[in-house]
Amino acid sequence: MSASETKFEGIRVRYDSAKSYDALVGALLADIGESPVPIDDITTTTGDWQEYEGRIQNHAGPSGFMLFGTVDHGAWITKAGIDRKALRVILGNPLIAITMLRHDVKAGLFAPVELLVADEGDDGSSVTYVKPSSLMVVEPNPELLSAAEQLDAKLAALAEKATGGS
C-alpha cells in the first residue's frame, strides 16, 4: 500500500468581540444548543431520509447549526500553567453537510466544522475558525465549491451574530 499526500492551505478567520468570554460562549450556545445532539442515536433510530431529515431539523438552531460537542481547552491547559479560557466547539448540521458530501465524500473530513472561543482578557473575547471551503475543496470541483461557500457564509453569519453587541 502506498500513501498519497495533497498539500493545501486553510484560511483562518477571527472575529473579535467586546463581550466577555462567558457572554460569547452563552450567545453561541443560545443559537446552536447547550447540549450535544445525539446524532448517532438519531441515525440508528430513524428509518428513511425523510424521517431523519425531520428529526434533524428539530435540533437545528436559528443559524441552522447544532452542537455536536465541546473540548474545554481552558480546563486542562491550566495544569500546564496557562491561565486562559478557550473552548473548542464542534457544530454542524447533516442537512448542510450532505450538500457537500454528495459532491465529494472526503469533504466529511471537515464536517462538522469547529471553532475556538477564546478569552482575550481586557480586550474581550474572540471566535476563530478555518473557512470550510479552504479545507474541503482541494481539487477542482465547482459543485463542491459552491456548496462549501454557502457553508462559509452560514458560519460567518453565526460568528458575526454571536460576537456582535455587548
113-119 and 12-17 beta bridge pairing: unpaired
Mean pLDDT value of segment 34-55: 96
Share of the chain above pLDDT 90, in %: 95
86-92 and 12-17 beta bridge pairing: unpaired
Residue 129 pLDDT > 70: yes
| Contact status, residue 157 vs residue 123, Cβ threshold 8 Å | no
Residue 12 pLDDT > 80: yes
| Contact status, residue 37 vs residue 59, Cβ threshold 8 Å | yes
Nearest by Cα to 160 from 30, 32, 27: 27
- Would you state the CATH architecture of domain 12-163? 2-Layer Sandwich (3.30)
Mean pLDDT value of segment 142-158: 98
Mean pLDDT value of segment 87-105: 98
Please state, rounded to an integer, the average pLDDT across all residues of the chain: 96
Mean pLDDT value of segment 111-132: 97
Question: Using CB atoms within 10 A of its CB, is residue 138 exposed (0-12), middle (13-18) or buried (19+)?
Answer: middle
| pLDDT bucket at 1, cuts 50 / 70 / 90 | confident
